[in-house]
Structure 1
């Protein structure tokens, strides 16, 4: 996205699909393996920037002053001594373990459990302290540990590990010296157990108890990390030519999409911003006081400057949100995928057209029917753990569950129970923050679900019993990256001033209905009770 820094106007947008990812290459959903070839990022980045600049007009490229990249995370990759992903080197070009390990890859559950056990029993500092006290299989060291144990040839060939948000700026600036790479405070703090109190990353003695290879790889990471208002460098001659941009274009230090998206959604102190898409990410910001840092257990970390530089950033979230609804939709469309093609009497094009039309209408019709149901009629209760539980208290072994099904249960009632489950999960996260003294004065929502599903948003407001303001930004995450780019380029002295000038404002505010909020209070208590019952069973 190309953005005008004066007023936040969008002047060019281009969306490109990853060619290899679109084919499902290198992934195995049954094994929770999700890998991404680095060429997908390079090719689509160049095409997307070219497309956005073309839409912005012929004079736009010469006016570009800064670039910032947001990425998923933790999405690490093993690299050689020049910071090149091993999948771009001979011998590993088609090796999934040499590619980026996507955030939602859960192949390292056992390794995460070992990290948690070791952190509590090794006799020294608990390095999971500032990451909610529970390390997740989605995060940096768990994934690296798994590679060291299960792919020793790949791990032994590596010199370092880079997060995707660190690799992109390194590529754009032509940085091939590992000691000069400015690693993201956001990524290192939330996912790699970096903290100033520790003097950087976990001690060698701790990592050695997990695997000696971790100590060797840690040596390449350095000690310092950087916030995204800091310049990483300027475009290299190669990439300036590829993109048609000025050679002195500033490239900002990278960060994760959710954290930059919080800035793009105009988060401020004592506010909770929810990014509602396939999963849910919760961002909160609080000023730093004179008192010692207050630790919030069971979240995805708290990091100085990970969202707004100079303030503490807090991360939580749900491993599945929109994906819960998508799962139910997929169940309902099974006959269209399997039986419809077998029916005689219609050509293939007509069958495809019919299947697409019906599939497109399923969720809107479910929402309409679920909205019309009286609240007291629904005896169903569901858990939103279809992809494990991220927070509060990460546990990727947990699964979803539904109770209260009868012969009278129909699709709209099941759908409403699933929507309520995701809302209950959101309330549990907010209450975890509040129970440890983190103020939440306002809730903001961005993302596809927030802008497309009034039923989900109203249910969320009712269950949380809080106003929820939906950002008017169509691409809030990219907008946040643009705000950091403008600040790193010196166009604004602080990212808060970039927010003030470039924010899209609020599109709509959902307010809780008192009678519905009262209705949901006992159901939420039952949700917590049901969750404890299922988790106890899963643990045994």
Structure 2
């Protein structure tokens, strides 16, 4: 029998990877990673070196094409697979990662006259400089009783499309007028591959207020928001919204030549990266929650009913698995917090000890932190180093550690940070269950579950739930490949739907993490204290975090002027 393969392309924050997968059994045949040449631009623009304001995070769209130029041919070469055997390709992407394009779909930053204009570039998911616009969207939607607001837990985010587009209008109106459309990067890459300017129902539903039955908010809402936005949907969000599992189009001859594939190969509608990890773990039933754990943490929950819960990032029918409601929640910094601590705050003697042990600083800290019992370090942290996405939806919040003394050791701080992110996840699970949305199973995927055993045990102890770990270390790419196989269809040797593909192609590890009763009892006490801090600093009882941020911005602006 002729072997059939699918390719999943996973676009992350710092790099993109291509994964070649055997359609019959999900075996991962070859993978290749391409770091983005421009990386994350959060301080300066390329070329000019122009300084960016605080909370900006940009990328260059050609970096995404570089992944197709480098990684797709690399997996074919490494595997020896004939391009004729590749039946479909799917992509997943960080979101909301959005860019302005012209009438031909070309990014505005490609134009010579706009290379030094920050708003002409891709706004990465963690671009938080549109918080003021998000605040005004929330206030207007609440005042008008807009139906869409309840589907996002009563608050929308500065990370999402409308806030980012409105920021362009407010700060660079001439560029806004030159923008033919604002596109999710996932949809833009699909456009480059197929010539088809469709919009993913996943991206539109979770990040642009689109609803399967109601569509986008109407003109009255956008006019009330800003008269200049009255025709925003009709002029800047043009493009058919297409459901997950559909074929967006087929590879053009030009795209196929760039990627080393066959023209006409099926291309799936794009999906948000964390969401692709759901079928990648094999989760396709109501009550199953998947935690995609990396630099940030996304929580995706499947349900057979729609309930509007406080602070939940979104609930979209067919948004992850067709036939079910997909809920999204998240923490905007998890691995990033641990990375910050290692890079910015770990003393030299700890790094020297790690070198002597022949392991990374992360691994050394994990080893030392594992020697501690819950509560032994006397510390408690709030996990808001990059703001709070769920439940508070507030990018202006910041991190905190309580209990520091002259005797506090680096591994104690490290463990408190691990625990803080687990408490944040527990808060999200509790919010779901208190709203009447069942969470019956926990799965974890991404880089962290594969590398940090202590972290996963802490999550099991804090949540009081068994956690199953995806067998694949590349579940978003695997999930994207599954959608590629579905886009190809049974006629080409693919699958009829994503549930069938997941049943054949996904696996979890035999080993799971189960809660340790005595640990869970201590963490219940700590979690109560976490909740007290959460309420005090997160709901306006004490605005010191925001006051400090305002002071910082004033001083940075003053320095920039001088």
Say yes or no: TM over 0.5. Answer: yes
Does structure 2 conserve the Cα–Cα contact (< 8 Å) formed by 1:148 and 1:211?
A: no
Query: Which one is further off, 239-248 or 315-324?
Result: 239-248
Q: 1:36 Cα deviation (Å)?
A: 0.8
Q: 1:209 Cα deviation (Å)?
A: 2.5
**Residue of 65, 73, 82 corresponding to 1:50:** 73
In 1, Cα distance between equivalents of 2:116 and 2:84: 38
1:287-308 deviation per Cα after TM superposition (whole angstroms, max 9, x unaligned): 25xxxx3212211100011111
Is structure 2 residue 503 aligned with structure 1 residue 500?
yes
2:133 maps to what in 1? 111
Per the alignment, do residues 336 and 17 of structure 1 end up closer, same or farther by CA in structure 2, a change over 3 Å counting? Answer: farther
Is structure 2 residue 161 aligned with structure 1 residue 150?
no
Unaligned runs of 5+ in 1: 176-180, 341-352
Query: Which one is further off, 102-111 or 83-92?
Result: 83-92
Q: Write out aligned runs for 1:245-264 (5 A).
A: 245-264=261-280
Is structure 2 residue 234 aligned with structure 1 residue 234?
no
1:161 maps to what in 2? 182
1:280-335 deviation per Cα after TM superposition (whole angstroms, max 9, x unaligned): 000011125xxxx3212211100011111121111001011111111111233575
Q: Write out aligned runs for 1:62-73 (5 A).
A: 62-73=84-95
- TM-score, normalised to structure 1, is 0.91
SS in 2 for 1:208: helix
In 2, Cα distance between equivalents of 1:530 and 1:309: 39
In 1, Cα distance between equivalents of 2:355 and 2:116: 34
1:317 maps to what in 2? 330
1:503-532 deviation per Cα after TM superposition (whole angstroms, max 9, x unaligned): 132253000001111111111010000122
1:425-462 deviation per Cα after TM superposition (whole angstroms, max 9, x unaligned): 01000111111111111100011111100000000100
1:299 maps to what in 2? 312
Is structure 2 residue 121 aligned with structure 1 residue 99?
yes
Is structure 2 residue 225 aligned with structure 1 residue 225?
no
SS in 1 for 2:248: strand
Is structure 2 residue 513 aligned with structure 1 residue 510?
yes
Does structure 1 conserve the Cα–Cα contact (< 8 Å) formed by 2:133 and 2:163?
A: yes
SS in 1 for 2:34: coil
2:344 maps to what in 1? 331
1:141-180 deviation per Cα after TM superposition (whole angstroms, max 9, x unaligned): 11001010001121111111110111111110123xxxxx
1:214 maps to what in 2? 229
Unaligned runs of 5+ in 2: 1-18, 548-562
1:197-220 deviation per Cα after TM superposition (whole angstroms, max 9, x unaligned): 4x2111112112233443333114
In 1, Cα distance between equivalents of 2:113 and 2:323: 44
1:344 maps to what in 2? none
Is structure 2 residue 103 aligned with structure 1 residue 77?
no
In 2, Cα distance between equivalents of 1:267 and 1:301: 19
In 1, Cα distance between equivalents of 2:228 and 2:298: 32
Query: Which one is further off, 297-306 or 371-380?
Result: 371-380
1:113-165 deviation per Cα after TM superposition (whole angstroms, max 9, x unaligned): 011111111x3424322122111111111100101000112111111111011
SS in 2 for 1:15: strand
Q: Which has the larger share of strand?
A: 2
2:9 maps to what in 1? none
Q: 1:9 Cα deviation (Å)?
A: 1.0
Q: Write out aligned runs for 1:265-284 (5 A).
A: 265-269=281-285, 270-284=287-301
